[in-house]
Amino acid sequence: MRNCRTPLEPLVEEARKLAGGRQDAFREHIVQSIYHTAEQIAAGSVIRETGGRIDWDRKIDNILTSPVWGFPIMFGLLAVVFWITITGANYPSDLLAEGLFWVEARLTALFVAFNAPDWLHGFLVLGVYRGVAWVVSVMLPPMAIFFPLFTLLEDAGYLPRVAFNLDGLFKKAGAHGKQALTMSMGFGCNAAGIIACRIIDSHRERLVATLTNVFVPCNGRFPALIALAAIFTGGAVAASLSSLATTLAVSGLVVLGIVLTLLVSWLLSQTLLKGIPSSFTLELPPYRKPQVGRVIVRSVLDRTIFVLARAMIIAAPAGGIIWVLANITVGDASMLTLMAGWLDPLAWHMGLDGFILLAFILGLPANEIVLPVLIMSYVSGGALMELNSLADLRHLLVEGHGWTWLTALCTMLFFLCHWPCGTTLYTIRKEQNSWRWTMAAALIPTVVGIGLCMTVNYLVRGLGLV
């Protein structure tokens, strides 16, 4: 049978050459041509009676999605959100701590009045109640500010512009452009980000997005990152620059998380999950005036209260367990001290100590309780001390347990890169229906985190900077 060439084949070959022979670039070239032709047809045949009105959506998009201004504005907005969160959370956090520890004093008086045994008072008040009080006072103010601000950006229609700006980077990483949206959802909750991966049609690209979502810090990690950054970065500069320095430090960690997301996505697309990225056509929605009242109610009820309730439910028994471990002794050492000692050799290489690494392990149910568990582990007797300010926390870490800026940096890096929380792992298991990929989702960020901490630790110590 004679081999016949259709009249279109020379045109197809020419188009492939223009696209450099790459199949993904070829598809993108075709899509761009279709949209360009459609715009030309619409411009020549559609009459718009604008009455002299300016197309503000297009003018704003020309700035927010431009190659020059898109990324600076995106990271600038992120920094502003963090600055407002950090600056606004300090005062209500102090008030909450004072109020909750005042309640604790009343509870202690009640136990004394009823001649309750010391172990019952220790377990319920110094363990369970203090654990919950710390979680509420530290987590509630940042979440109550961050979630509404983030939801306002989402409601105004800005998040699709973020996806548009990051589309090219994710495509170069062998991932799908929609992964930018699922990554943005991860800032609120990594489990929600995993569920959002359903919007990606390709199973391979959906799996890449799932395995890398944990590299962006969720709400459970933000309070700890903000607190440590405020102590060791904000505390190292003048008081007038403290909030700015803290904002830049947290923003830098977020940017690092995005870079790691892209890097690990590229590595996965070149090894375990090879494949050609599918095309992504995003129709930008019009800008909307945010409904501030509805946004605040929705973000407070659906996100802040939900996450805080989950953290309290997990922190309450965790506080009791930590108190028990800290008060059961084997020889002259508590169980908590012994467990931390077993982890000390690995922790030292990572720039941490055994108690820090143990807190991450015990905090597997929820990232929100890692810092409270660490503080309870540090304090003699396993009771969470009354930390009414960041100055108290700094004294405990620096004066009490020898933390340096390197310890804080490695701890923040491991907060950024370690295994997902129990809820996220359960969600991955349900979404992928595979224990294999669930284990991969836990191992990949952990290996990256250990390697990153070791590299920074050895580099700083080798240069003699600590």
Mapping DSSP to helix (H, G, I), strand (E, B) and coil, where does residue 344 land?
helix
Question: What is the structure's pLDDT at 313?
Answer: 78
User: Cα(394)–Cα(379) distance, rounded to whole angstroms?
Assistant: 13
As given in the structure block, the two tokens for residue 192 are 């929600």
pLDDT reported for residue 1 = 47
Whether 83 and 243 have beta carbons less than 8 Å apart is answered as: yes
Q: Where are the domains of the chain?
A: 70-278+289-462
Q: Is 180 helix (H, G, I), strand (E, B) or coil?
A: helix
Under DSSP, is residue 270 helix (H, G, I), strand (E, B) or coil? helix
Write down the pTM of the prediction. 0.79
Q: What is the pLDDT of residue 300?
A: 74
User: Which secondary structure element, helix H or strand E, spans residue 131, and what is its range?
Assistant: helix 130-155
Give how far Cα 122 sits from Cα of 244, 317, 379, Å: 40, 13, 13
Distance CA 59, CA 54 (A): 8
Tens digit of pLDDT per residue, the chain (466 long)?
455 555 556 656 666 666 555 555 666 667 667 766 776 776 666 655 555 556 777 888 888 888 888 889 988 888 888 888 777 877 787 788 788 888 988 999 999 999 999 889 888 988 888 878 877 776 777 777 877 887 888 788 887 888 788 888 888 888 888 888 888 878 877 888 898 898 888 899 999 999 999 999 987 788 789 889 988 987 777 777 888 888 899 999 999 999 999 999 999 999 988 877 776 666 777 888 877 777 777 777 766 777 677 667 777 887 788 888 888 888 878 888 899 999 999 999 999 999 999 999 988 887 878 887 888 788 755 555 555 567 778 888 988 889 999 999 999 999 999 999 888 898 899 999 899 999 999 999 999 999 999 999 999 999 998 8
Residue 427 to residue 434: CA distance in whole angstroms: 11
Q: Return the structure tokens found at 59.
A: 């003018």
Q: Which residues contact 355 (CB under 8 A, 6 or more apart)?
A: 336, 340, 374, 377, 378, 401
Burial of 336 (0-12, 13-18, 19+ CB in 10 A): buried
- Distance, CA of 342 to CA of 118 (rounded, Å): 30
Tell which residue, 395, 355, 319, 336, has the closest CA to residue 133: 319
Q: Cα–Cα distance between 350 and 415 in angstroms, integer?
A: 13
**Percent helix, strand, coil in the chain (nearest 5)?**
75, 0, 25
**Which residues, other chains included, contact 414 with Cβ-Cβ below 8 Å and sequence gap of 6+?**
350, 352, 356, 360, 449, 450, 453
Q: Cα-atom radius of gyration of the chain, to the nearest Å?
A: 26
Q: How far apart are CA 296 and CA 315, in angstroms?
A: 26
Of 61, 73, 31, 258, nearest to 161 by C-alpha is 61
Give burial (CB, 10 Å; 0-12/13-18/19+) of 150: buried
Structure token digits, residue 197: 């991966």
SS3 309: helix
